[in-house]
Amino acid sequence: MRALVTGGGGFLGSAIVRALLVRGDTVRVLARGSYPELTALGAEVVTADVRDRPAVVAAVGDVDVVFHTAAKAGGWGDRREFEVINVGGTENVIAACVERGVSRLVHTSSPSVVHAHRDIEGDNESLPYATRFTADYPRTKALAEQRVLAAAGPSLRTVALRPHLIWGPGDRHLLPRLVERARAGRLRQVGSRDVATDFCYIDNCVDAHLLAADALATNAMASGRAYFISDGRPIGVWTMANRTLAAAGCGAVGRPVPAWLAYALGGALEVLHATFRIEREPLMTRFAASQLSHSQWFDISAARRDLGYSPMVTIDEGMERLAVWARASL
């Protein structure tokens, strides 16, 4: 098929690009930078921003499916940027698909759209969207997902995938920050519980995206729906952090800080950063404190049933691959 990947230079986006090329698909990338390594593999790279609707419309021309992975992530940042990138950018992608007659749209969402500051243990897609958000990332991702699902119709089939904490070789965002804080002695456990949490290995996440695109071509019942995606085995978030740090060859997580204290500290730091217009993300935020102190694992039966998804790479196998990559790259 002919595919467009927005955010194709990122961790997930570039992995989707490579997987599509390996199976013989024609791939165009829309990204803000230039990526000669993807061009060398055979992808067409269009340097543009999802906020630029004419550029998105032009990039969408003559493709069969769009994988929309571009987003502004993080628990802190300019509120307006989150809105214009995550919501406005998604609206541009939807409008471009409609205008150019694209038949399928696979949107990368997040389980944080349903995070309600409580434990979630084995719940499914019947969970409602959260009504109170402590960060603009989950708030705008929820709005974007709703736009995508509402756009589903006879001429455009859409699906939203909700992978939780994507990890593995090639991660230049989460893992480096984890390693940096551990080496600086600034990585502390939040709360006394090793809360059970879903993770999604990069290859499993890519596989889910390709399966979703293929399912939309043959199964109209999958259109207009969201699906949780994970490795299929919840694991303690601090156990996972320590295993990841061990794979990267550095220290372990420090002693616990009470969850209430971390949440209060996050709120205070947010006020401080906002008051003095400090752009970098605070050491702790309310969103991070809540996420790290509550169980978050989900039933992926719907993805198994409708998309044919089954996580192929186990956490143990993924850790072995991560260790090999980290030794050479970090």
The radius of gyration computed from the CA coordinates of the chain, to the nearest angstrom, equals 19
SS (HEC) of 28-39: EEEECCCCHHHH
Tokens of 76: 């802190």
Structure tokens at 183: 């080496």
Helix axes 136-150, 89-100, angle to 10 degrees: 20
Residue 27 host element (H or E): strand 26-31
Q: What's at 216, amino acid-wise?
A: L
**Could you give the residue numbers annotated as active site?**
137
Q: Three-state SS across 245-261?
A: HHHCCCCCCEEEECHHH
Among 45, 33, 35, 2, CA closest to 20: 2
Please count the helices (runs of H) and the strands (runs of E) in the chain.
13, 15
Give the helix/strand (H/E) hosting 244: helix 237-247
β 225-229/157-163 pair status: parallel
Q: 162 forms bridges with which residues in the sheet?
A: 228
For 235, phi then psi, to 5°, come to: -145, 150
DSSP 8-class letter at 152: -
What distance in Å separates the CA atoms of residue 228 and residue 145, rounded to the nearest whole number?
13
Structure tokens at 14: 């570039």
Angle at 148 between CA 146 and CA 152, to 5 degrees: 115
Structure tokens at 53: 């609707």
